[in-house]
Amino acid sequence: MTKLWGGRFQKSAESWVDEFGASIGFDQQLVLEDITGSVAHVTMLGKCGILPQADVTAILAGLATLQDKAVKGELVFEVANEDIHLNLEKMLIDEIGPVGGKLHTGRSRNDQVATDMHLFLKNRVTEIIELLTAFQQTIVAQAEQHVETIAPGYTHLQRAQPISFAHHLLTYFWMLERDKARFTESLKRIDISPLGAGAMAGTTFPIDRELSAELLGFSSVYANSMDAVSDRDFIVEFLSNSSLVMAHLSRFAEEIILWSTDEFKFIELDDAFSTGSSIMPQKKNPDMAELIRGKTGRVYGNLMGLLTVLKGTPLTYNKDMQEDKEGMFDTVHTLVGSLKIFEGMVRTMTVNTKRLHEAVHSDFSNATELADYLATKGMPFREAHEVTGKLVFTCIQRGYYLLDLPLADMQKESALIEADVYDVLAPTAAVSRRNSLGGTGFTQVAAQLAQAKQLLG
Ligand code: ARG
């Protein structure tokens, strides 16, 4: 088969060579963006008097037919036509005759592919921001049910201090809020048109780049045609922002997995988001959370992959850049899927409040309360820490928790301890009294919830 660029060639490549160089296997995902870009380009060519209106009309009609077929899944792509751009151009010529060959006037696949990628990411990032918001709404709804549910808070995965369970859940709200801010900020660098940069140096045709940018809904145009065709920063940025989302999801996933164990039993996942074992009848596995934790790896890999592809590539376009696509598609797919699943998992999970209550009443996470109590009574905090530590040790030896230790035993370590110490040691008191700004005190958590809801609008 003759290539659209075959003029200067005496022989054609063997099919297995074509296969290696082709991107149609994956860049067909850009089919609608590519048609949209062509519609804007040819409209602009007409408006600028570069193509007669009759040709423009014919090309637009052909593109409309291709778009229709694309939506219906009727287009048959060929490896011999290398990529989405040449496949569509060939189909256009087959559809409307040689006039279809005028579409590529004043354009190159280099500005064309960059345009497609910008259009693609602009839409996907907008969708991802919406999914992040939906997940935040679910987190807020769960948190609302658990402002006064007391749970153990951890450092080093050791019981640290009691907290409001809502406070724990809302931590993820804020991570996602930052993720959203990063994606929103990145739109500035996605929402910019490379179209009209040509192969790299611009074109001799009197094109109007601002017009085609406007037709495509882009806010601005690249100032430098060489930068326009060689910039892939916006994709790296997307992969980096996505990596951070996955880091957050993987941390949450890990907690969901831990909380679902018999050892913790803090939550139970809905059957719809769990799986069984083929051999062990009792099993209910948190597969979805594990998968999301696992999929974090491929997204990090995609980021490292593209950074490495770009390293040292000279200006401007190099075929290396064709390698920017699969990781991007894979990341979009992974992120969209993970966010949808995670939202459903959190929306349908049951929080075992009884178990959480038991947990905070059978540990030493109220030890800081005792130290603070002594410090409030004038004992230097370092000394209060020491006294409390000794009392914890006494408890461990005698099989008590601090709340069970008789007052007389406490007073052996410090005469400052009085009967009111038991009020202070109660886990609920420990939480409600942590009223410093952003702390886990109920009033603070309620204020935080209100702030979160306000941000969600
Ligand atoms: N399939 C190519 C890519 O994805 C399109 C651009 C080809 N440009 C070229 N000069 N060979 O990068």
Considering the candidates 108, 156, 193, 385, report the single residue annotated as catalytic: 156
SS (H, E, C) 207-221: CCHHHHHHHCCCCEE
Q: Which CATH superfamily is domain 110-358 in?
A: Fumarase/aspartase (Central domain) (1.20.200.10)
The answer to whether the CB of 109 is under 6 A from ligand 1 is yes
The torsion of the CA quartet 277, 281, 286, 291, rounded to 10 degrees, works out to 0
Find out whether the beta carbon of 23 lies less than 6 Å from any atom of ligand 1: yes
- Measured in angstroms, how far is the CA atom of residue 323 from the centroid of ligand 1? 10
CA of 314 to the centre of ligand 1 (A): 15
User: Is the beta carbon of 113 within 6 A of some atom in ligand 1?
Assistant: yes
Query: Is 436 assigned a catalytic role?
Result: no
Task: Enumerate the CATH 1.10.275.10 domain ranges in the chain, comma separated.
Answer: 18-105
| pLDDT for res 133 | 98
What pLDDT is attached to residue 1? Answer: 55
- CB of 191 sitting under 6 A from ligand 1: no
| pLDDT single digits (tens) 16-41 | 988 999 999 999 999 999 999 999 99
Domain with CATH 1.20.200.10 in the chain: 110-358
Nearest Cα residue to atom 3 of ligand 1 = 322
CB of 110 closer than 6 A to ligand 1? yes
- pLDDT value at residue 78: 96
pLDDT given for residue 282 in this prediction: 82
Place of tokens 């659209």: 4
Ligand 1 centre from 329 Cα, in Å?
Answer: 17
CATH number for the domain formed by residue range(s) 18-105: 1.10.275.10
What is the Cα–Cα distance from 13 to 4, expressed in whole angstroms? 13
**What pLDDT shows up at residue 275?**
84
Buried b (16+ CB within 10 A) or exposed e, 89-127: bbbbbebbeebbebbbebbbbbbbbbbbbbbbbbebbee
- Mean pLDDT computed over every residue of the chain: 96
Q: Which listed residue (219, 220, 277, 362) is catalytic?
A: 277
How do residues 347-383 score in pLDDT, each as one tens digit?
999 999 999 999 999 999 999 999 999 999 999 999 9
Give distance in angstroms: CA of 143 to centre of ligand 1. Answer: 49
Residues of the chain with pLDDT under 70: 1
